[in-house]
Structure formats: structure tokens, C-alpha cells
Amino acid sequence: MMMKTPDMSTPAQNFFGTTELQLKKLFSEWKEQPYRVHQVFTWVYHYHCRDFNEMTNLSKSLRSRLAENFYFALPKIQSRTHSKDGSIKYLFELDDGAVVESVWMPSDSRNTLCLSTQVGCRLNCTFCLTASLGLKRNLTAGEIIGQHLAINQEQEYQITNIVFMGMGEPLDNYGPVVDALRLMTSPEAMKISTRKITVSTSGLVDKMKAFQEENLAINLAISLNASDNATRDRLMPINKKYPIEVLMDCLKKYPLKPQRRHTIEYVLLADINDSDEDARRLAKWLKDVPCKINLIPFNSFDSSEFRPPSEERVLNFQNYLIEKNFSAFIRQNRATDILGACGQLAAQSASVIPLRGMKANDEHNALDPVSN
Ligand code: SAH
């Protein structure tokens, strides 16, 4: 990989994370043809070229101009923690020493990457370990796609699905996340199908409205996690700004491509949101929302006051929703033994905790491995 230290006169920029639009603008200033952008992207993303000098269909002057203005940098893999289930949690070190985590989850049918969008998070959901960090900073688009590029580079099996469910609230880092999604889905760049990407949000309604206007057609997962406003206020303070009825209204109006549905995430917390009454209220809220429901038995961590419900409670909850004709799945807990599961990422070293939650041992216990 060719690295270049930025000098003071021309601050060089990481090519990863630079969008087609930004490059087109620059090329027009340089009086270069727009199709040159396509050529550069093809070298970088399709041929994995990391040296502008090797881009032989570009003029020498363009090559050296690119080399003066751009460098290639990926987040550095600081450690890999292996789970018994085959998942790997990656700890990445960023340019300024900040660290974030991504989790690679292989299964028979797919290899899913769960990636981070922020160092920490400022939403302060009471059941989430990442919240304890507060927000340190947003990731750049280059750092977001960089997690994917760095992991794909070292894995024998390529990533097939991406979920934005790691550290951070994706829609609270809006611009860089949208740029990263454009790079991921652009045929000129990473060429990943929009069907294979899911962005999970705690329900920032204004940002969701802006997001739908981007026409990205990316799947949305919404962390609902409670069936009444009082409980959701307590679990997710963002509910005071965007209460359940406002969130539901947004989802009902959200345009979806044919055959697509939203995913509703519901973390099950013993004696907090797992009663029959909760299931009934949840079904009522979701009556006219095109969705499938992912039930996520709480993933424990040491400092938490919450506990996952019993297996029986989880199945009761799921069965009620199924009776009401919802597609309701129990999220397969991955990487819980290495603090790599939903809400367990906090860029700490793994302290081994007992594997809790549901097992894939029951035909009735429909499992949905993390994304579509
Ligand atoms: N901020 C985004 C994405 C990150 S969290 C969001 O809120 O959607 C990804 C999912 O993990 C969310 O559905 C969240 O509710 C869930 N989650 C957080 N902490 C959890 C925990 N300890 N156990 C189980 N799920 C958790």
C-alpha cells in the first residue's frame, strides 16, 4: 500500500471515503474528463490497486496529481477476538488513536459484517454498553468503509451482508454514513446490493425523513425496544423527542421498494418489556407497518442491571406475534462470549461472560441471523 504523509501546503486526503461526486468536482477543476473518475474507481475498488502510478490508462500528469492529493489508509487491525461460534471481533485503531470494533459473523448462507459508525454514542440507551462511553467522535466515510475493506482483505470468505449495528447511531453521523453507503452500493465502487445492507437506528425521525430522500433504498432496522412511551422514555431517552406514535407515523409513510419491509428490533428485558401485555401493545402499534420483527434477548454485560427473559418468556412473546400474523424472529445471539453481540461493543478487551440467550434448537424458534 502506498502511503503519503500529507504536507502542509496541499493537505492530502484519504482516497477511501472520497465520493464519486467529490472526485468529479475535483476533476472538473483539473480539466479532466468525468469518465476518468470511473477509471480511478475501477482501479481502486475492482482491481484493489493502491498506487496511482500503476493506473496505466491515466496520463502521467494525472497520476502524479492524484498521488500529491490522495493517500490510501485503512483503519489498523489492533486485535482479533475469536468467538466459539466462528465470529471474529476486530478492534480497529484509527489515525488519532481512537478505537472502534466490528464483528464478522460467518454462517452457512452468508458472512455478515456488523460495523461501527461512531466512537461511542450519545443516545444513552440504558441497556447498551456502548452508551457508557459517551460520544467521542464521528467516524469518517473512509473509516466506515475501511472496516469492510480491511476485513475483506484478510478473510478467505468475502463479506456478503452488512449491518450498521455496531458502535454508534448511524443517523447521528448522517453525512459520512450516507457517503459510505453511496460508496458501498455504487457500481463504480464497492458494488454491494442495497438488499444486503441494513442501517439500524434508534428512531431519529427527522434524519429518517432525510434518509428516505437520498433514494438509497437501503433496509432500515428500527430499535423499538418498548411497547409504551413511559418504558421507552426510560430505556431510550431519544423517545422523549420522537415518541412511539411519531416514529410509527414516519414508518407508515416511508416509501419501500416492492418485497421490502422494515425490521423492527425489540430487545427483550426480563420484567421490563417482555409481558403478554407488551406483546399485545407491540402488535397494535405495528398493525399497519410493513415489517418483520427481530426479538433480541438481552445480551448481558457486567455492569448492567438488566437480565434476559427466560427462554419460555421469549417464546411466548414470539408466539403471540406469530398468532397475530407477524413475521417474528428470535435474533440468533452471536459472539456473546467475546462481548461482540448487539449492544456489547465498547472497544474493551473481551472479558468472557457466560453464553446466554436462545439456542437454535427448536423448529418453532424461528431464527433470523442478523439481517435479510
Ligand atoms: N444505534 C443504533 C445501532 C446500534 S445498536 C440503534 O439503536 O439501532 C444495534 C441493536 O442492538 C439495537 O437494536 C439495540 O437496541 C440493540 N442492543 C443494544 N444493546 C443491547 C444489548 N445489551 N442486548 C441486546 N441488544 C442490544
The CATH number covering residue 62 comes to 1.10.150.530
How much helix, strand and coil, in percent to the nearest 5, is found in the chain? Answer: 35, 20, 45
- What span, in angstroms and rounded, lies between the C-alpha atoms of 125 and 121? 9
- The one-letter amino acid code at 37 reads V
My answer on whether 291 and 324 are in the same domain is yes
Asked which of 71, 89, 116 is the last residue of a domain, the reply is: 71
Is 63 in the same domain as 114? no
Q: Which atom of ligand 1 is nearest to the CA of 169?
A: 1
Residue 6 belongs to a domain: no
Average pLDDT estimate for 258-283: 97
For ligand 1, atom 25, name the residue with the nearest CA. Answer: 342
Same domain, 29 and 43: yes
On the question of pLDDT at 89 being above 50, the answer is yes
Instruction: Put residue 337 in one of left, alpha, beta given phi > 0 → left and psi -120 to 50 → alpha.
Output: alpha
> Residue 212 and residue 254: Cα distance in Å, rounded?
7
Q: Residues 23, 106: one domain?
A: no
**Residue 205 belongs to what domain range?**
76-371
Q: Is the pLDDT of residue 280 over 80?
A: yes
DSSP string covering 133-202: G-EEEEPPHHHHHHHHHHHHHH-SSPP-EEEE-SSS-GGGGHHHHHHHHHHHH-TTTT---GGGEEEEES
CATH of the domain at 126: 3.20.20.70
Query: Which H or E run contains 331?
Result: strand 327-331
Domain end (from 53, 71, 89): 71
Using CA positions, which residue lies closest to atom 20 of ligand 1?
343
Q: Which of the two residues, 58 and 367, has the higher pLDDT score?
A: 58
Cell of 142: 473512509
How far does the centroid of ligand 1 lie from the alpha carbon of residue 200, in Å? Answer: 8
Inform me whether the pLDDT recorded for 344 exceeds 60. Answer: yes
Ligand 1 pocket by Cβ (under 6 Å): 127-128, 165, 169, 200-202, 223, 225, 265, 267, 296, 298-299, 342-344
Write down the pLDDT at residue 117.
98
155 pLDDT exceeds 90?
no
Residues 59 and 168 in one domain: no
Taking residues 98-113, report their average pLDDT.
95
**Mutation test residue for ligand 1: of 101, 116, 165, the one with most atoms within 8 Å of CB:** 165
Considering the entire predicted model, what is its pTM?
Answer: 0.90
**Nearest residue CA, atom 26 of ligand 1?**
343
Co-location of 64 and 104 in the same domain: no
Distance, in Å, from the CA atom of 17 to the CA atom of 142, rounded to the nearest integer, reads 4
Shared-domain flag, residues 203 and 64: no
Mean pLDDT of the chain: 90
CA distance 116 to 120: 9
